[in-house]
């Protein structure tokens, strides 16, 4: 590979949701996820126990950047990422494979607008933590309604729902 080719590939990907353009990587990159992952992690650290095993469901995981970042910081938490879009599911899996984190499960397809009983592989009272980042302000109202109608069934007693990205306009 010559330097000109590498630069051309970088330019081709610059400004797109592409993280790693070389060798066909499927890892997507969202600039907002890079900007907000540490502030969200700070909130998680202030609210979530790190001294005992926990289970977290991330609803609408996007690219996978958040789940790997949080999994590194909380090795005691088993993370279940989820997404509705095939491209995002592939990206999450690519991040998972790249970072080789044992506490991140393979991503699952999840349509949050549907009743929780239709969420494949999710059992009642199975999560200590549900994380939902940057979904409510950009998705149909049915997704927000589905989220709030379902979390009470999915969370364990004393479980926590963490949301991020809601704006005044919602």
Domain extent at residue 44: 25-164
Whole-number Å distance between alpha carbons of 159 and 146: 18
19 within some domain: no
Q: What is the DSSP string of the chain?
A: --HHHHHHHHHHHTTTTBS--GGG---B--HHHHHHHHHHHHHHHHHS-SSS-EEEEEES-TTSHHHHHHHHH-TTEEEEEEES-HHHHHHHHHHHHHHT-TTBPPPEE--TTS-GGGSTTPPTT-EEEEEEES-TTTS-HHHHHHHHHHHHHHEEEEEEEEEE---TT-
pLDDT at 140: 87
- Number of folded domains in the chain? 1
Tell me what percent of the residues of the chain surpass a pLDDT of 70: 84
User: Which CATH number belongs to the domain containing residue 117 in this structure?
Assistant: 3.40.50.150
73 within some domain: yes
Whole-number Å distance between alpha carbons of 61 and 84: 9
Which tens digits make up the pLDDT trace of 117-149? Answer: 999 889 999 999 999 998 988 888 999 999 999
pTM: 0.83
160 within some domain: yes
Which tens digits make up the pLDDT trace of 5-41? Answer: 333 343 344 444 444 443 457 999 999 999 999 999 9
30 within some domain: yes
Q: Regarding predicted confidence, which is higher, 166 or 40?
A: 40
């Amino acid at each position: 590979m010559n330097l000109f080719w590498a630069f051309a590939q970088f330019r081709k990907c610059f400004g797109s949701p592409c993280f790693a353009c070389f060798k066909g990587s499927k890892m997507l990159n969202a600039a907002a996820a890079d900007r907000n992952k540490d502030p969200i992690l700070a909130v998680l650290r202030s609210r979530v126990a790190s001294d005992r095993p926990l289970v977290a469901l991330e609803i609408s995981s996007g690219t996978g950047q958040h789940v790997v970042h949080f999994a590194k910081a909380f090795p005691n938490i088993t993370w279940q990422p989820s997404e509705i879009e095939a491209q995002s599911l592939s990206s999450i899996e690519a991040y998972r494979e790249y970072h080789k984190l044992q506490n991140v499960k393979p991503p699952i397809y999840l349509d949050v607008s549907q009743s929780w009983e239709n969420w494949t592989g999710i059992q009642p009272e199975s999560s200590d933590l549900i994380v939902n980042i940057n979904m409510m302000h950009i998705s149909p109202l049915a997704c927000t309604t589905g989220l709030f109608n379902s979390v009470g069934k999915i969370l364990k007693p004393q479980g926590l729902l963490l949301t991020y990205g809601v704006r005044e306009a919602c």
